[in-house]
Chain A
Amino acid sequence: QQQVKQSPQSLIVQKGGISIINCAYENTAFDYFPWYQQFPGKGPALLIAIRPDVSEKKEGRFTISFNKSAKQFSLHIMDSQPGDSATYFCAASMDAQAGTALIFGKGTTLSVSS
């Protein structure tokens, strides 16, 4: 019930195309859903995050779509660029009295070809 399942494992997209990464969760106590971007040799960096009271959040070319009833959320990268080539992780967290822990998906390696 603590898992976050992410797909696909890898993705190849043409420059200018749309990249879509999907995640699903089981624990309805999760109330924060971030996406992290990681480049080789670097730590993950927060890209965009959403709370379950909204169905969509957009920041520049990055959009999170959230479906509370299906317990799914996805990241859309519009006009994908070679510089977007990285590993993307979805995650989930809850406001717990015992502290904070991010539960991560296994990651998606995105390659944007020019």
Chain B
Amino acid sequence: KAGVTQTPRYLIKTRGQQVTLSCSPISGHRSVSWYQQTPGQGLQFLFEYFSETQRNKGNFPGRFSGRQFSNSRSEMNVSTLELGDSALYLCASSPRTGWYEQFFGPGTRLTVL
């Protein structure tokens, strides 16, 4: 079974731009969560989507948004990029919401200049 895939793997943007990251979950998994990883703050939960609905949201500004499609693929969007948004963005999937074990993708490394 293929794992979680994320595209692109690396991205460089400038302040003020917006960016869209994509995540394809493991086949059959319907829950997708997003996390931000930085050296200072560690791994922080952004949001979870299940059945195309946002189920849970972390403490991030409204510039961070996401969506999930009917095939369970998910995208996250960050608008008006700031230098502090430079991070590794990780996607994790699980069979359903409330399923404890989450399987992570390799992440998208976003650099904001």
Partner-B contacts on A (CB < 8 A): 32, 34, 36, 41-46, 49, 89, 91, 93, 95-96, 98-107
Residues of A within 8 A of B102 (CB): 46, 100, 102
Main secondary structure of the interface of B (DSSP, over half): strand
15 contacts between A and B (CB under 8 A): A34-B100, A43-B90, A46-B102, A49-B101, A89-B43, A95-B100, A96-B98, A99-B48, A99-B50, A99-B55, A100-B31, A100-B33, A100-B55, A100-B97, A103-B45
Of all chain A residues, the one with the shortest Cβ separation from B41 is A106
Residue pair A41, B106 in contact (C-beta under 8 Å): yes
Known contacts: A98-B55, A99-B50. The answer to whether A46 contacts B106 by CB under 8 A is no
Interchain CB contact under 8 A, B107 and A100 = no
Q: How far is the CA of A30 from the CA of B13 in the complex (A)?
A: 38
Chain B residues, Cβ within 8 Å of A100: 31, 33, 48, 55-56, 94, 97-100, 102
